[in-house]
Amino acid sequence: AQSVSQHNHHVILSEAASLELGCNYSYGGTVNLFWYVQYPGQHLQLLLKYFSGDPLVKGIKGFEAEFIKSKFSFNLRKPSVQWSDTAEYFCAVNGPGGYNKLIFGAGTRLAVHP
Amino acid sequence: DGGITQSPKYLFRKEGQNVTLSCEQNLNHDAMYWYRQDPGQGLRLIYYSQIVNDFQKGDIAEGYSVSREKKESFPLTVTSAQKNPTAFYLCASSGTGYTGELFFGEGSRLTVL
């Protein structure tokens, strides 16, 4: 069965530090990959997505992610985090059923200290 | 404002009782979804519906039931058969075509006493 692994469950950083959150998926076929974010007290929302083309995708608020097919990875990065980036981040992949049926990872809770 | 409305936000129920969580959307989306969120486990798909009067089981459908009689509504019933119902429940919708973008509601937190 298809699955998504997020290696870091909790990450604590100081402002201006660089961020990289790991995400690996298990599926050998064509995949579409996503990062969603849930800010405190807000709805879960799409941060960025990869369908095809350039494996380096850029999302909102300065986030980017790189799809490395050989490593089955889709890591999320940001060069310099801000306190407002404190949130929970979820990696997701489309399931075998397609049609927006996403499989989510366990999430990574990021805390950024001023 | 377009969006997804879930109610109630908090719900307590006694063991053995069924409870229904409401999900309404005014985004004119065809597809709707129910996810369960538990700490350390992320979101797991319970049921989804691609069109009115049709729905499919997700990964953890046992102990749950849904209906899709109207495009804008997708209620979830947590039955007494669900062994561990205490959780945070999220409803989502998506529009026409495959974009991978789900729009989520604020969630409903169910606690079984």
What is the pLDDT confidence band of residue A96, given thresholds at 50, 70 and 90? low
pLDDT for the residue A31: 84
What is the pLDDT confidence band of residue A97, given thresholds at 50, 70 and 90? low
**pLDDT, tens digit (0-9, with 9 covering 90-100), for A1-18:** 778 999 889 999 999 999
Nearest C-alpha in B relative to A106 = B42
Strand B87-94 vs strand A102-104: parallel, antiparallel, or unpaired? unpaired
Kindly calculate the radius of gyration of chain A based on its CA atoms and give it in whole angstroms: 14
- The count of CB pairs under 8 A between chains A and B is 62
Exposure on the CB side of residue A32, measured as CA atoms within 13 A? 16
Say whether A69 sits in a helix, a strand or coil: helix
**pLDDT, tens digit (0-9, with 9 covering 90-100), for A35-92:** 999 999 899 999 999 988 999 999 989 999 999 999 999 999 999 999 999 999 999 9
Which residue out of B56, B104, B106, B108 would a mutagenesis test of the A interface target, given it has the greatest number of A Cβ atoms within 10 Å?
B104
Kindly report the nearest CA distance between residue A71 and chain B, in angstroms.
22
CB spacing of A105 vs B40 below 8 angstroms: no
> Interface of chain A against chain B, CB under 8 Å?
4, 6, 9, 32, 34, 36, 43-46, 49, 51, 90, 92, 94-95, 97-107
What is the pLDDT confidence band of residue A95, given thresholds at 50, 70 and 90? low
Tokens for A18, please give them. Answer: 């660089």
Kindly calculate the radius of gyration of chain B based on its CA atoms and give it in whole angstroms: 13
| 113 residues of chain B, pLDDT tens digit each | 669 999 999 999 988 899 999 999 999 999 999 999 998 888 999 999 999 999 999 999 999 999 999 999 999 999 988 888 999 999 999 987 777 789 999 999 999 98
